[in-house]
Amino acid sequence: MDDPKLPITDHLSELRSRLIKSLLAVAAGFALSYGFSEQIFRFLIKPLVKAMPPGSHLIYTALPEAFVTYLKVSFFAGLILAAPVIFYQLWKFVMPGLYDKERRYVMPFVLMATFFFLLGASFAFFVVFPFGFKFLLGYASGDIYAMPKLNEYLSFTVTLLLAFGTIFELPVIIFFLAKIGIVSPQFLRKQRRYAILAIAVVAAVLTPPDPVSMMLMMVPLLVLYEFSVWVAGLVWKPRNTETQQKLKDQ
């Protein structure tokens, strides 16, 4: 770890540099994805189309809505493509606060963070969406027809995909915090009841207002938390001798 403390202006300059590089990566991913925006959107609507009752259609009510929707699809795809770069820039930003032996974990962090992000998004797409859409569209009957709007569906879908991708980063975060001695498995076990409460709140906020979607987010989050506790128990070591002495005194 570097002894000299950087002034706040240098931290802000470093943050701006990392943000610019991340945005450039997203822009490159956007440019690459735009040519396939229609195919990507058709892939994204598959879970909804399968759950929709006969005679239902996706619609748009504003003239530029379809065009703007394809732009949003391209941006989202670009964000996914740029995920490894974003995680790398995040690591580089926090790296000055790490010891030299801890800085070598950059590639494992980038690979694991990208994998768990994609795993979370895939879980939402292939597991949560089919059950959630089927439940929500079950109210379409008689004179009630389901005609979702393009932009509303895309916003709803992208929000959930990003939410699941982000919450699936929990084991990665806990792994590296435990690896560098900041978070111990004992601490995680003591905070379990508060973690369950926080998970319930997160699931209630991020999912549609129905119990099925909420449980489909809560259950994997609880499993991820317990998995994180187990992982922390495998890799945790006190960060320095001062930390070791404090733990002995507890």
CA dihedral 233, 236, 241, 243 (to 10 degrees): -70
- Helices 65-81 and 37-44 meet at what angle, rounded to 10? 90
- pLDDT higher than 70, residue 239: no
CB 200 within 8 A of CB 218: yes
Mean pLDDT of the chain: 82
Number of helices and strands (H, E) in the chain? 13, 0
Least confident of 109-113, 178-182, 188-192: 178-182
**pLDDT digit string, tens, across residues 102-136:** 677 788 888 999 999 999 999 989 988 888 888 77
Q: How far apart are CA 52 and CA 43, in angstroms?
A: 15
pTM above 0.85, yes or no: no
Q: How far apart are CA 86 and CA 83, in angstroms?
A: 5
pLDDT band at 216 (very low <50, low <70, confident <90, very high): confident
pLDDT band at 34 (very low <50, low <70, confident <90, very high): very high
- pLDDT higher than 80, residue 229: yes
Taking the alpha carbons at both ends of the chain, their separation in whole angstroms is 27
Mean pLDDT calculated for residue range 145-163: 85
Give 248 or 218, the one with higher predicted confidence.
218
- pLDDT higher than 80, residue 194: yes
Q: What angle do CA 50, 55, 60 make, to 5 degrees?
A: 85
- pLDDT higher than 90, residue 177: no
pLDDT at 10: 67
**pLDDT digit string, tens, across residues 71-99:** 999 999 999 999 999 999 988 887 776 66
Closest CA to 229 of 164, 155, 177: 177
